Amino acid sequence: MQFSERVGYIVWVSDLKAARTLEKYGSVHYMSRKMHYVVMYMNADRADETVRNMQRLSFVRRIERSYRNEIKTEYTQGVPDKTRFYSL
């Protein structure tokens, strides 16, 4: 089974009840009730078209792309760990 490339977006909304309709544009990962935003993922090949359609919705304030998958998560041990010298 081949998984398609996914892209994350943060959608700032004015109405959380209406934000439930965003599920038809992609998979909703998280909805913040306090700060009024939705974290969602969608297919990368149709992301531009989907974002244009979502911006037309009346409850969408702005849409930001998430760069979480582009952040380096592999770390090197370039600097020696000094915590072992100060242990009890």
Q: Which amino acid, residue 56? A: R
pTM: 0.76
pLDDT digits 0-9 by tens, 11-51: 999 999 999 999 999 999 999 999 999 999 999 999 999 99
Complete domains list, the chain, with CATH: 6-69 (3.30.70.80)
Q: Are strands 27-32 and 6-13 parallel, antiparallel or unpaired?
A: unpaired
Residues 6+ apart with CB under 8 A from 75: none
Residue 44 DSSP code: G
pLDDT tens string 54-86: 999 999 999 999 988 778 777 777 776 677 777
Q: Which helix (H) or strand (E) holds 17?
A: helix 16-19
Report d(CA 80, CA 83) in Å as an integer.
9
The pLDDT of residue 7 is above 80: yes
The per-residue pLDDT for 88 is 59
